[in-house]
């Protein structure tokens, strides 16, 4: 061995004098080391050697063994054997190299078997590919194939500190370069074998990171429902808006950093501005928008006094995104059809004055305005005064009250041919027609309300129609000498049923022949005397006759009979002629008086004598009886007869003098 100037020890194996004998320190190919090298750092001391390292000389045992066996030869330090001798080796060490003479090549043992070195193949010119810029990581490198039997290798040579960059080798010629965005790398591609080495360089620069996104400042309380966004313009990459949250909303151009965005009032939107480069790397930033209109004006409407209930309010519309609300500031009992409707219908108390407030608000602002609404009072109660019935002549002065909080007006509700001197005066003169009945109305009105009352007016001249206000029935009348008589039997009251009797109960109760009410319309009703007299014993009393009329006395009947020529002939002059209402022979009937008596019959314990007799009550009582005037179909005369007061007979009324 020799030692160089740098202290490098060189061992020359296979040279020098031949050694013989056994080496107990070297096991046959099984030791951890074959040559141990130690150095004495301080020769002047006896402290021992320092172990510097170990080298395993793979061929030493076989050189020794071959020499000892005497069948191997050395050539330049490497054993050479024939193929047969090579196959006869026992337990060759992995990595052992033997020159095989008949192959003229070196064989190497790989732990399983022997293989031979191939002759060095030729290296083709290396091409690392073209330079590329703005590529994405990882980038697939592309170079020409090194050729069969050759190897390839890539290496980053700049920047000097590649940082996180590295090369991944899924295949030798097409590895992937992982680099940092925006960094330029210079790489060397080397093709080599154990004989030669060639290389080429290529420059690869990676796409820079996208521009950092800035969506602009948040926009709160936006007055309109649209706004322009204010994101930054990308230098690297392209931008795009997206909506993160919020109902509705739209972009005019979602790639424009300054685009217009339309949203909805009282809605919060979170929008994201994202800038993305060609490699898919992105940067995002968000902005908050809140749309909240600012109310410019609020108008509650015009103050109004004398308003009618209900009153339609006239406030202005609150506008999109705002809420209008009515409230009562002053006054009691007021209500709105809808507190949020600018044209709500407001109701309150008659005669009450209210101060109402219309408030328009949103989460940003609240404004309000007041309006005074005074409701009209009721007019005074209308009163037409008492009914005026069966008046003499054809005119009368009306007696209504004067209007209060309004104006009055007379109108004709029913009746023909009537007129007012001045229909606006409460005490105007009314003119009608003789024998006509009128219903008049006196109405006191203001712009909201009216109060009305009615009065009945009838003008009567004997011989015209008599109107009975109690049930609206009308009766013909006849003037006979100085007397004015009804020309038909009275028919007023509630019909009695079978077995019923009238009562003193302020209700007029009548009996119709055979309980058949249409016969009351033809022959008149039948009444017990007490019912007919309204339970009074006063002779000449009104009884159940209309106002201004009464039950005739005995003397008034006798005056009529005398005027008609006496009792023997008066009957013929009082009876209707013919046989419609009298049975034959209806003796002597002429109806000269137009009294038009009919055969009404009577009821005692049974119905009897219809179309044959008529017993008409007078107001003269006689003990348990009362006087009646008897008229018959078989006589021309009349008789004044007593009749039991519990019997049912007809009534003829005579006008008061």
For 214, other C-beta atoms within 10 Å of its C-beta total: 16
Same domain, 415 and 521: no
Q: Longest Cα pair distance anywhere in the chain, in angstroms?
A: 207
Q: What is the mean pLDDT of residues 91-111?
A: 82
Asked if residue 333 has pLDDT above 70, the reply is: yes
Asked if residue 72 has pLDDT above 80, the reply is: no
Same domain, 55 and 105: yes
Query: Residue 173: what pLDDT?
Result: 64
Asked if residue 373 has pLDDT above 60, the reply is: yes
Point out the domain boundary residue: 180, 206, 232.
206
Map residue 530 onto helix, strand or coil: helix
- If pLDDT is split at 50, 70 and 90, which confidence band does 42 have? low
Asked if residue 36 has pLDDT above 70, the reply is: no
Tell me how many domains the chain contains.
Answer: 6
Q: Is residue 127 in a domain?
A: no
Same domain, 523 and 646: yes
- If pLDDT is split at 50, 70 and 90, which confidence band does 50 have? very low
Residues in the chain: 657
Same domain, 286 and 153: no
327 vs 225: which has the higher pLDDT: 327
Same domain, 34 and 169: no
Point out the domain boundary residue: 402, 428, 459.
459
CATH code, 248: 2.60.40.10
Q: Are 607 and 590 in contact (CB under 8 A)?
A: no
Q: Is residue 77 in a domain?
A: yes
Asked if residue 232 has pLDDT above 60, the reply is: yes
Same domain, 98 and 157: no
Give burial (CB, 10 Å; 0-12/13-18/19+) of 510.
buried
Same domain, 449 and 479: no
Q: What percentage of residues in the chain have a pLDDT greater than 90?
A: 65
Q: What is the H or E stretch that residue 67 is in?
A: helix 60-69
Model confidence, pTM: 0.48
Q: Is residue 246 in a domain?
A: yes
Q: Is residue 650 in a domain?
A: yes
Full domain range(s) for residue 308: 304-375
Q: What is the mean pLDDT of residues 271-283?
A: 95
Asked if residue 27 has pLDDT above 90, the reply is: no
Query: Residue 577: what pLDDT?
Result: 98
- Distance, in Å, from the CA atom of 597 to the CA atom of 582, rounded to the nearest integer, reads 9
Same domain, 484 and 520: yes
pLDDT per residue as tens digits for the range 439-481: 999 999 999 999 999 999 999 899 999 989 899 899 999 999 9
- Quote the DSSP letter at residue 124: P
- Distance, in Å, from the CA atom of 553 to the CA atom of 629, rounded to the nearest integer, reads 11
Same domain, 503 and 608: yes
In 3D space, the residue among 28, 52, 54, 27 whose CA is nearest the CA of residue 41 turns out to be 52
Q: Is residue 245 in a domain?
A: yes
- Distance, in Å, from the CA atom of 9 to the CA atom of 12, rounded to the nearest integer, reads 10
Q: What is the H or E stretch that residue 312 is in?
A: strand 311-312
Q: Are 303 and 319 in contact (CB under 8 A)?
A: no
Q: Is residue 436 in a domain?
A: yes
Query: Residue 89: what pLDDT?
Result: 86
Map residue 499 onto helix, strand or coil: coil
Q: Is residue 179 in a domain?
A: yes
pLDDT per residue as tens digits for the range 141-156: 888 888 777 788 889 9
Same domain, 623 and 524: yes
CATH code, 175: 2.60.40
Q: Where are the beta strands (DSSP E) in 322-415?
A: 323-330, 335-336, 345-347, 353-361, 366-375, 388-391, 395-397, 407-414
Point out the domain boundary residue: 258, 291, 324.
291
- Quote the DSSP letter at residue 526: B
Query: Residue 92: what pLDDT?
Result: 86
Same domain, 265 and 155: no
- Residue 506's contacts (CB-CB under 8 Å, 6 or more residues apart) are none
| Helices assigned H by DSSP within 273-415 | none
Q: Is residue 214 in a domain?
A: no
Asked if residue 22 has pLDDT above 80, the reply is: no
């Amino acid at each position: 061995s020799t030692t160089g100037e740098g202290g490098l020890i060189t061992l020359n194996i296979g040279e020098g004098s031949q050694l013989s004998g056994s080496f107990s320190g070297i096991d046959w190919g099984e030791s951890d080391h074959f040559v141990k090298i130690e150095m004495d750092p301080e020769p002047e001391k006896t402290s021992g050697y320092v172990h510097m390292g170990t080298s395993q000389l793979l061929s030493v045992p076989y050189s020794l063994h071959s020499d000892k066996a005497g069948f191997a030869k050395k050539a330049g330090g490497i054993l050479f054997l024939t193929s047969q001798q090579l196959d006869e080796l026992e337990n060759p060490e992995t990595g052992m190299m033997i020159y095989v003479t008949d192959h003229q090549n070196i064989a190497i043992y790989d732990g399983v078997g022997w293989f031979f070195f191939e002759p060095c193949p030729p290296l083709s010119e290396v091409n690392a590919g073209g330079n590329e810029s703005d590529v994405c990581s990882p980038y697939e490198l592309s170079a020409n194939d090194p050729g069969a039997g050759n190897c390839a290798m890539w290496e980053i040579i700049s920047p000097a500190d590649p940082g996180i960059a590295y090369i991944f080798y899924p295949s030798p010629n097409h590895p992937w370069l992982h680099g940092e965005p925006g960094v330029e790398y210079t790489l060397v591609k080397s093709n080599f074998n154990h004989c030669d080495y060639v290389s080429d360089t290529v420059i690869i620069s990676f796409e820079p990171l996208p521009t950092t996104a800035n969506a602009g400042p948040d926009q709160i309380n936006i007055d309109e429902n649209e706004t322009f966004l204010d994101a930054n313009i990308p230098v690297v990459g392209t931008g795009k808006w997206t909506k993160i949250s919020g109902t509705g909303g739209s972009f005019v151009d979602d790639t424009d950093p300054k685009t217009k965005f339309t949203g909805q009032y009282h809605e919060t939107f979170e929008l994201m501005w994202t800038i993305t480069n060609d490699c898919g790397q992105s940067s995002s930033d968000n902005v908050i928008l809140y749309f909240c209109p600012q109310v410019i004006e609020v108008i509650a409407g015009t103050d109004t006094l004398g308003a009618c209930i209900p009153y339609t309010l006239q406030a202005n519309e609150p506008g999109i995104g705002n809420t209008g609300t009515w409230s009562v500031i002053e006054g009691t009992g007021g209500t709105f059809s809808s507190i949020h409707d600018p044209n709500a219908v407001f109701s309150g108390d008659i005669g009450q004055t209210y101060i109402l407030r219309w408030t328009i608000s949103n989460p940003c602002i609240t404004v309000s305005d007041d309006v005074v609404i005074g409701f009209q009072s009721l007019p005074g109660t209308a009163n037409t005064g008492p009914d005026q019935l069966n008046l003499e002549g054809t005119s009368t002065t009306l007696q209504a009250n004067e209007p209060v909080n309004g104006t009055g007006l007379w109108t004709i509700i029913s009746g023909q041919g009537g007129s007012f001197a001045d229909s606006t005066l409460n005490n105007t003169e009314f003119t009608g027609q003789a024998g006509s009945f009128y219903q008049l109305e006196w109405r006191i009105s203001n712009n909201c309300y009216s109060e009305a009352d009615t009065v009945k007016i009838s003008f009567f001249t004997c011989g015209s129609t008599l109107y009975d206000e109690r049930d609206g029935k009308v009766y013909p009348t006849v003037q006979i000498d100085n007397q004015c008589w009804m020309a038909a039997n009275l028919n007023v009251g509630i019909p009695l049923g079978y077995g019923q009797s009238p009562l003193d109960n302020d209700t007029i109760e009548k009996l119709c022949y055979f309980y058949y009410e249409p016969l009351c319309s033809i022959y008149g009703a039948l009444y017990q005397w007490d019912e007919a007299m309204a339970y009074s014993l006063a002779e000449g009393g009104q009884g159940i006759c209309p106002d201004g009329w009464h039950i005739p006395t005995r003397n008034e009947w006798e005056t009529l009979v005398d005027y008609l020529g006496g009792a023997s002939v008066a009957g013929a002059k009082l009876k209707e002629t013919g046989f419609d209402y009298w049975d034959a022979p209806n003796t002597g009937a002429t109806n000269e008086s137009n009294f038009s008596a009919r055969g009404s019959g009577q009821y005692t314990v049974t119905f009897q004598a219809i179309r044959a007799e008529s017993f008409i009550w007078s107001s003269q009582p006689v003990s348990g009886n009362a006087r009646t005037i008897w008229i018959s179909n078989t006589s021309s005369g009349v008789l004044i007869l007593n009749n039991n007061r519990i019997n049912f007979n007809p009534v003829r009324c005579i006008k008061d003098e």
